[in-house]
Amino acid sequence: MKGGSVQRPSLKIIILGLSITSSWGNGHATTYRGLVRELLRRGHQVTFLERDEPWYAANRDLPAPQEYARLYTSLEDLKKRFEREVREADFVMIGSYVPEGVEVAEWVIRTSTGLTGFYDIDTPVTLSRLESSEALYLTKELIPRFDLYLSFTGGPILEKLAQRYGAKVPIPFYCSFDPQRYAPKPCEQVWDLGYMGTYSQDRQPALEELFLKPAVSWRAGRFIAAGPLYPEGTVWPQNVLRISHLNPAEHRDFYSAQRFTLNITRSEMVRAGYSPSVRLFEAAGCAAPIISDYWEGIETILEPGREILISR
């Protein structure tokens, strides 16, 4: 005890995730950065293991080299170099979309002497692909073998994880953001409406309706859109500034310079409900006025009409 408070034990935590070194084309990196930062602040020992992929190697944006971030080149390299760390860790967590995730999970569960968990940052997509046998990073058989199932999605899907798939402890674990990097910043509001998101075919109709059409009809308006992987044939109105990839170090300026920012949710997340994206939290952290599509449970995250505007 120190100063009347109970000292928390320091845990050895291993996280195997899609990426923490590059936010290019994914929302995982900034989520993991916020999570790891807080775990370290609480005195835990954290190692993040990431497969070294060329598209992330070409777009590294982790602020300064971090000792906790370790790269491996293959499954065999992972086993050879990090078996001891995995075996001795108090908790090993595997994230969704880890390359060769099934094989990685099998190895972790066999090797670890501590607790194991799965962090699903894509729960509705994962369950949809499990049903069609298209999930390359998880199988139905693996789910009950984890001690903990952390889900990006809350609500009824947690009961489905427990009853249908045998998840032992399914709990909602929404995306994280770093409040030191995502905070209000007084500045000139240059843009009337902004949007950040990687191209996704199922989001495109909403982007057309809520972003591109308003830009066409309001020629005096100023619009900005950031995100990679849009098809070359995508037509952007002349009053839209396009940024293919925005470094997270610039996210705060991006959100703070907007009168309104637009949030568009993937269709599988809309159907599942209770699936707030990391971009939603980041924009809220910067106090950007948010316009969002509706999904069940959004009112449990932000209060409509006061903290968020809903487009129906």
Whether the predicted pLDDT of 1 surpasses 50: no
Q: pLDDT tens digits for 148-207?
A: 999 999 999 999 999 999 999 999 999 988 899 999 999 999 999 999 999 999 999 999
CA geometry: angle at 241 spanning 198 and 236, to 5°?
70
**Beta partners for residue 5, in sequence order:** 2
- Number of residues in the chain: 312
Task: Give the whole-number percent of the chain exceeding pLDDT 90.
Answer: 92
CA geometry: angle at 145 spanning 139 and 149, to 5°?
80
> Residue 5 has what pLDDT?
57
Q: How confident is the model at residue 9 (pLDDT cuts 50, 70, 90)?
A: confident
Asked whether the beta carbons of 92 and 86 are under 8 A apart, the reply is yes
126 by Cβ neighbours in 10 Å (0-12 / 13-18 / 19+) ranks as: buried
To which residue do tokens 């001795």 refer?
88
Q: What is the mean pLDDT of residues 228-253?
A: 96
Closest alpha carbon to 20 in 53, 49, 58, 40: 49
| Residue spans of alpha helices (H) in the chain | 28-41, 54-57, 75-88, 101-111, 123-131, 157-163, 204-207, 213-217, 251-256, 267-272, 278-285
Q: pLDDT tens digits for 19-63?
A: 999 999 999 999 999 999 999 999 999 999 999 999 999 999 998
Structural domains present in the chain = 12-172 (3.40.50.2000), 191-311 (3.40.50.2000)
Q: Are strands 223-226 and 12-16 parallel, antiparallel or unpaired?
A: unpaired
